[in-house]
Structure 1
């Protein structure tokens, strides 16, 4: 449940089909910028499409998730300005990194020949 909350609060608005747009998204040109930003985010990673990704792609994305959160590149700073609860704590980063490592092991095992 804790990891699910992290993903919902810090990732899903830009990386899923469950984007919750704020009221100011109705104002141009902000709406154009946000639409482009969300579309670009989903091009890189869309959690709503996760099950459709190959094991290799999932493994690569997990590696990128770890790198992005450890280097404080995600969530984007401009996103956390208006979504303060999206900013990851050190503990949340550690939880995500541990989840990534465990999940990558599972995917690596799934790619091994029987």
Structure 2
């Protein structure tokens, strides 16, 4: 009897905490963007490259994030927001004009290297976003274009 009460109380406490943390929402406010500052515009990417980068990279590495339904559920939303902030901090395609020529060249080479090693897009993103999965041909196209 005591174990049942304890398990029940524990479950109720868990539900209460889970409900309370839902009030700590992440900031998903749109960020003003200047299309002229965008990587794909500045670098004059071909249509195939534009589609691949927008589908596989922009949610975490631009100010044009499309937040999925699960971004409304804490604590997953907190992890997601931290991941996006970290991704934008390392590389933000929406602010490409803020990088020097040396920085942008380095970022392109690093991006190609990450794609080549299959480190990007990350596994957790590919599992949920099937369209972000790159075939060997798509990977080769991106790597070749980024290293040109």
Instruction: Place the TM-score, normalised by the shorter chain, in its bin.
Output: 0.7 to 0.9
12, 15, 19: which is aligned to 2:65? Answer: 19
In 1, the alpha carbon distance for the partners of 2:112 and 2:53 equals 13
In 1, the alpha carbon distance for the partners of 2:130 and 2:85 equals 22
In 1, the alpha carbon distance for the partners of 2:113 and 2:140 equals 12
99, 109, 132: which is aligned to 1:63? Answer: 109
Q: Could you give the per-residue CA deviations for residues 64-95 of structure 1, whole angstroms, max 9, x where no partner exists? A: 11110000000000001110110111111111
In 2, the alpha carbon distance for the partners of 1:86 and 1:41 equals 16
In 2, the alpha carbon distance for the partners of 1:90 and 1:73 equals 14
- Residue 134 of structure 2 aligns with which residue? 88
Per the normalisation by structure 2, the TM-score is 0.68
Q: Could you give the per-residue CA deviations for residues 38-65 of structure 1, whole angstroms, max 9, x where no partner exists? A: 0000000000011121001001101111
RMSD value, Cα:
0.6
**Quick check: which one's helix share is greater?**
1
Q: Which runs of 5+ in 2 are unaligned?
A: 1-46
Larger Rg: 2
64, 72, 77: which is aligned to 2:118? Answer: 72
Moved >3 Å (runs of 4+) = none
In 2, the alpha carbon distance for the partners of 1:20 and 1:27 equals 15
76, 93, 98: which is aligned to 1:47? Answer: 93
Aligned residues: 102
